[in-house]
Structure 1
Amino acid sequence: MGHGLVEEDVSDEKLLQSVAEGDKAAMHIIFARHRKRVFRFIQRLVRNPAIVDDLVNQVFLDVWRSANRFESRSRVSTWLLSIARFKALNSRRERLHEGIDQEDALGIVDEGDTPDAALDRKETKDILRACINKLSPAHREIIDLFYYRESSVAEVSEIIGIPQATVKSRIFYARKQLARILVGAGLDAAATP
């Protein structure tokens, strides 16, 4: 049963080549490896929790169908997120009445916190999240990808499909805008990402 070890070692690129050849086992590994990341990414873009799973499945269905079109200039994970972004934005266009903003990953409290500190942290995060939600969609997306998903400038450029220089200036303006909103909300600019 040395199978588990094998799948740990196989790179995403190699797996995707196998997927392109119709290998279902390789597809299962890709799904297991990336499902959470794609799920969280879509969850932040789409406010309606009822459709997140459906969109995640559509992303992986696309991967299964178009694995042979993957160009190894980018990382597989980056390619997956660009497919996910496309699906999420399309679904948003179809459903302009978005549901309420789901409590997202930022609301998760640290087990080691005292109740007071946890509440403090959660309140700060809630204020921060509310402020981020006031940004323009383009700025919100940049902050989300760059700071919360820790994507590199190159990855952000690929996922959104804009030049790296544009990513950098957008990050710069998004931070300035966010700092202004935070100060207005009574949070020190030091709390910005």
Structure 2
Amino acid sequence: MIEISDESLIQRIAAGDRAAMRILHGRHATRTLRFLIRLVRDESQAEDLMSDVYFDVWRQASRFEGRSSVSTWILSIARFKALSALRRRAPRPLEPEIAEAVEDDADTPEVVAQKASKADAMRRCLGRLSLEHREVIDLVYYHERSVEEASEILQIPAATVKTRMFYARKKLAELLAAAGVDRGWP
């Protein structure tokens, strides 16, 4: 079977082709959902946002100009939806039982050694980065986007992407060192 390009699918979606929408969704849904989960840190909310993202893809397919790849366009819609949701999210005070259960960051070396694997430590440290640094790391390393594509998705200059990458890697190295994780991976 000949694989249809994403751009062709978008044209067919713009004409109302539901089968094309199912194919496009199948290609990009997992990556989009993971991106949303990393940004909003709530799987349920990320799933709700996924529906909004692909509804917008359906509605806006006729306006796709092809200045970027379809996957970049979808991730930029997802990012906009996630940031909008984060702005609407009101900070909730912690309930006393939950506040008491919050782990102290000042773990002893023995506790650090007993914690989960290096991959878990990496996820924890990534979660401690600022939103701007997390999204750059996520796009470049997890979604394998170029600096230019990340720049387009984030709607910032490429130089800013590079600067954020530099500081994100520096901060991540500090966090990993503080967590007792060396730079070498087995």
Normalised to the residue count of structure 1, the TM-score between the two structures is 0.78
Does 2:37 match 1:40?
Answer: no
- How well do the aligned residues superpose, as a CA RMSD in angstroms? 2.1
Q: Tell me the distance in 1 between the aligned counterparts of 2:80 and 2:19.
A: 26
Structure 2 contact 39–131 (Cα < 8 Å) conserved:
no
CA shift, 1:11, in A, is 0.3
Q: Tell me the distance in 2 between the aligned counterparts of 1:134 and 1:187.
A: 15
In the other structure, the counterpart of 2:12 is 18
The one-letter code matched in structure 2 to 1:163 is P
In the other structure, the counterpart of 2:87 is 93
Q: Where does structure 2 lack aligned partners over 5 or more consecutive residues?
A: 93-113
CA shift, 1:189, in A, is 3.3
Normalised to the residue count of structure 2, the TM-score between the two structures is 0.81
The one-letter code matched in structure 2 to 1:156 is A
Q: Tell me the distance in 2 between the aligned counterparts of 1:121 and 1:161.
A: 38
**Correspondence for 2:53 among 59, 83, 99:** 59
Q: Where does structure 1 lack aligned partners over 5 or more consecutive residues?
A: 99-119
**Correspondence for 1:28 among 18, 22, 30:** 22
In the other structure, the counterpart of 1:102 is none
Q: Tell me the distance in 1 between the aligned counterparts of 2:25 and 2:5.
A: 13
Paired-residue identity, %: 53
Q: How does 1:12-161 map to 2 (within 5 A)?
A: 12-97=6-91, 123-161=117-155
The one-letter code matched in structure 2 to 1:38 is T
Give the number of equivalent residue pairs: 165
Structure showing greater relative contact order (alpha-carbon pairs closer than 8 Å, 6 or more residues apart)? 2
